[in-house]
Chain A
């Protein structure tokens, strides 16, 4: 089987802070990383490669500097890397991104399982995976914690409210992965990084993948950002400090005044 993994380079949003005076983002020094959910998707694909000898191709879309995450995926064990990069992709929402990624996958060739992280930590939409599946006309299984292959059956364990489901699909299928306990993100060795430089790496633009301009970028995106602004600040809390015993008394007093009584 052939596997494709969709990955994205994102700013480490846990490191992004707001300047309280200007209300703007402090982005200086915020590192770009492989989206953590995609890292789990990649590890799930590599686990299948190890077990069954499948070929793993990683596909990303982004500016030229996004090469770094594709290179990282190659160092971690992927066989081939693709970066879709073109000014025409700028401003793409999840619909236009799904369109471009689906076109890119078609150019990769016959793919049996497509892995993706359930969402990217910069947008948190969880829409691109299902969008790609729809564009390719293939079924999807979202929010999976484990994926296995048995002959021509793809078995996915999916997280649902209060438990899980075991689902079966025939390839081709797209699965999106949560950060579950069955996979652990690895770091590549220096040797592996060196070795990865010899692996096939393609950079394709819109024309290479046969993407039509009217479906790309802002023009192709049904949603538009009309405004971006800092989140509203709340008023300061009524503060209290004192000894532990006084703190406890204060909490009990507040709970009483707010009508909470222990049961």
Chain B
């Protein structure tokens, strides 16, 4: 419930801060309409504390039986059909989960669904897992929403973890909402930070294309679930020789569970090439590159540096580069060691996708371009002059 008390002085300060246009001034008093999401932005700016949001009491339910931080292990195909490997995002989640589990004094558990275990517990242990809940079954030979969500829901009901993390990947974003919906528990998408606050999982995420940040809690249900994009959490150094305890879990899985069937799977020829999300160096271009031909120079530069080419949304929309190279909110999040940008002004949508890079060097004509707010080094200059000269200089070396 949101209420505006008699204290309201009609100053209208709350009107422009509402992210949802949910406040109207009626008879010099703030009135909320149906668009209100009870986010509380107005409460914070009201100079006379006239706005109050009353929430349900932080649950009388007893969650003391829910223990353990779980991480969903995502497997990905390799050239070798028989053996899949663990996706790097899993190790990033284990690194983040380790911290949370230590703070809570709980176990960090990896959840592994596979048709055949290939000593995965070694790597999972090295990155911090205490236990691996493993279901080994022929029906788990490839990801399927119905099969995998059924198994996970069963495991959660049996072992009652306090939280569970998934990679915000194509698979994780398909699986997690299905599981959360079945269990009637909270799920927060694309978290950029996770912490423990009063025993609860505090999940921070950007909204409105990164224009605002929101802290989310799910106090009244367990497990508290989050998805986290690849490259957002730092991967810890693996502790070699630290292995996780494997707990084998039975599962009865019938073929009829599988309601969606894969008829064909095609992986592009360049799938073996370094993907932008894994690149150490990203050379990116934006609208300022002007033409597709000029954008191509970035390919050459990137090759010389041993990097991968990235593009802003504007450059992709203009057809300079394929969508698979788009960096940002609606593209890929990258965190390379070096991010070199040319002719990108730095809309927030782009910035949220690259600001975690270790070193950012930005080249732009406009000294006030927002990209300079996140860059470590800013070069005010014309990309069309600098790029060819830089290529020339690197070739001479």
A residues with CB within 8 A of B = 11, 13-14, 16-18, 24-28, 32, 62-65, 85-87, 89-95, 98, 121-131, 133-135, 139-143, 155, 159-170, 173, 218-219, 221-234, 236-245, 247-248, 250-252, 254-255, 258, 260-263
Q: Whole-angstrom distance from the CB of B60 to the nearest CB of chain A?
A: 14
If A241-B381, A244-B385 touch, does A224 touch B21 (CB 8 Å cutoff)? no
B202 near A139 with CB under 8 A, answer no
Contact B263 A95 (CB under 8 A): no
Docked CA distance A262–B176 (Å): 41
How far is A224 from B375 in the complex, measured between Cα atoms in Å? 33
| Alpha-carbon gap, A157 to B265, bound state (A) | 10
Q: Within the complex, what minimum Cβ distance (angstroms) separates B352 from chain A? A: 8
- A86 cross-chain contacts in B, Cβ below 8 A: 34
Considering only residues 274-321 of chain B, those with a C-beta below 8 Å from chain A are 275, 281, 304-306
Residues of B within 8 A of A25 (CB): 16-17, 19, 41, 208, 211-212
Q: Are A16 and B211 in contact (CB under 8 A)?
A: yes
Q: Which of B181, B206, B260, B374 contacts A131 (CB 8 A)?
A: B181
Contact indicator A98/B267 (Cβ below 8 Å): no
A-B contact count (CB 8 A): 308
Say if the beta carbon of B251 comes within 8 Å of chain A.
no
Cα A131 to Cα B45 with chains together (Å) = 34
Inter-chain contact A165/B262, CB cutoff 8 Å: yes
Number of interface residues of B (CB under 8 A): 109
Is the C-beta of B88 less than 8 angstroms from some C-beta in chain A? no
CA distance A117 to B39 in the complex (A): 24
Q: Mark B5-27, 1 if CB is under 8 A from A, else 0.
A: 00000000000111111100000
Question: Whole-angstrom distance between the alpha carbons of A172 and B100 in the complex?
Answer: 40
Q: Min CB distance, A216 to chain B, in Å?
A: 12
Q: Is B189 a contact partner of A91 (Cβ separation < 8 A)?
A: no
Interface of A is mostly: mixed
Q: Are B374 and A234 in contact (CB under 8 A)?
A: yes
Contacts A229-B213, A250-B379; A16 near B208 (Cβ below 8 A)? yes
**Chain B: residues with CB nearer than 8 A to chain A?**
1, 16-22, 33-41, 44-45, 55-56, 76, 145-146, 169-170, 173-174, 176-178, 180-182, 184-190, 202, 206-221, 259-268, 270-271, 275, 281, 304-306, 329-330, 337-338, 340, 347-349, 352, 355, 359-363, 367, 372-382, 385-386, 389-390, 393-394, 397
Which listed residue, A14, A126, A163, A231, touches B265 by the CB 8 Å rule?
A: A163
> Does B213 contact A143, Cβ atoms closer than 8 Å?
no
Question: Which of B17, B304, B362 counts the most A-chain CB atoms under 10 A from its CB?
Answer: B17
- A240 partner, pick from B145, B268, B355, B378, beta carbons under 8 A: B378
| Secondary structure type dominating chain B contacts | mixed
Given contacts A89-B34, A134-B178, A169-B260, contact A27 B19 (CB under 8 A): yes
How many Å from the CB of A237 to the closest CB on chain B?
A: 4
**Is A127 within 8 A of B189, CB to CB?**
yes
Are A230 and B212 in contact (CB-based, < 8 A)? yes
> From A218, which residue of chain B is reached at the shortest CB distance?
B38
Instruction: A122 to B212: give the CA distance in the assembly, Å.
Output: 10
A-B contacts, 20 of them at CB < 8 A, read A14-B349, A63-B33, A90-B34, A95-B181, A122-B207, A122-B208, A139-B259, A141-B260, A143-B170, A143-B173, A222-B221, A228-B19, A237-B376, A239-B367, A239-B372, A241-B380, A247-B386, A251-B379, A255-B361, A262-B397
Whether the Cβ atoms of A233 and B18 lie closer than 8 Å is: no
Q: Determine the distance from Cα of A254 to Cα of B376 in the docked complex, in whole angstroms.
A: 10
B380 touches A239 (CB 8 A): yes
A139 and B145 alpha carbons, distance in the complex (Å) = 8
B365: min CB distance to chain A, Å:
10
> Is the beta-carbon distance between B218 and A170 smaller than 8 angstroms?
no
Chain B residues contacting A260 (CB-CB under 8 Å) are: 281, 305, 337-338, 359
| B87 and chain A: residue at smallest CB distance | A161
A227 and B214 form a contact (CB under 8 A): yes
Once bound together, how far apart are the Cα atoms of A140 and B190, in whole Å?
21
What's the least CB distance linking B259 to chain A, in Å?
Answer: 4
Q: Would A167 and B186 count as touching, CB distance under 8 A? A: no
Least CB separation from A123: chain B residue? B207
User: Provided the pairs A95-B181, A165-B262, A238-B376 are in contact, do residues A222 and B355 lie with their beta carbons within 8 angstroms?
Assistant: no
CA distance A258 to B340 in the complex (A): 13
Q: Give chain B residues whose Cβ lies under 8 Å from the Cβ of A255.
A: 338, 361
Q: Which residues of A contact B20 (CB under 8 A)?
A: 11
Asked if A24 and B16 make an inter-chain contact with CB atoms under 8 angstroms apart, the answer reads yes
Q: Are B378 and A238 in contact (CB under 8 A)?
A: yes
The reply to whether A263 and B379 contact each other, CB–CB distance below 8 Å, is no
Q: In the complex the two chains form, is B378's CB within 8 Å of A11's CB?
A: no
A149 to B253, CA, bound (A): 29
